[in-house]
Amino acid sequence: MIRVRRKPATYAIVAAAIIVAAAATLWTMGRVPICKCGYVKLWHGVVQSAENSQHLADWYTFTHVIHGFAFYAVLWVVGRRWPVGARLVAAVSVESAWEILENTDFIINRYREATISLDYYGDSIVNSISDILAMIAGFALAARLPVWTTIALTLAIELLLAYWIRDNLTLNILMLIYPLDAVRRWQAG
């Protein structure tokens, strides 16, 4: 078997093309490019507001970093022999697909009926792209950090988010798949 070695730039170009395709898809789906407020903030920290998921970063950005940790781990197990660039392209593909799926009426309505996100109307395109970049940052961290550090960071992020906003990746997944009234009441404060 002949192995073709690709240059790291090739993987970066492919990943960038996937991100551009995701942005174009979100645009054709009718997603707004930036917040309807007319400006883009680096950070928006108010979860229960119409501007959540509309700016570059918010509390949920941290959950996308955890996506990167998880994708690195899964792709290390299933594609250990793949170059890290190929694994990154696969992770960007999955994260981009999630950003598109997350902004469909089905998922938006599911969030609104099953979670505390009553004012959620989907992400702006700039927020979706930022979320993909946060996943890439998590992937890159997981590739360089010891496993125990990545696990500790995941636990710290999940606990911090549970404390500060009464939500995190674990609760988000739980409430999307199997909503619990007790969790919803706790999240409502």
Please compute the mean of the pLDDT values over residues 12-16 and round it to a whole number: 97
The residues, any chain, with a CB within 8 Å of residue 20's CB and separated by 6 or more, are none
What are φ and ψ of residue 37, in 5° steps?
A: -70, -15
The whole-number pLDDT of residue 189 equals: 82
Asked if 66 and 171 touch (Cβ cutoff 8 Å), the reply is no
Residues 109-138: tens digit of each pLDDT: 888 887 666 677 899 999 999 999 999 999
Residue 3 DSSP class: P
Bridge partners of residue 40, in order along the sequence: none
Please compute the mean of the pLDDT values over residues 19-45 and round it to a whole number: 97
Provide, rounded to the nearest whole percent, the portion of the chain with pLDDT above 70.
95
Residues 61-106: tens digit of each pLDDT: 999 999 999 999 999 999 999 999 999 999 999 999 999 999 999 9
The whole-number pLDDT of residue 7 equals: 87
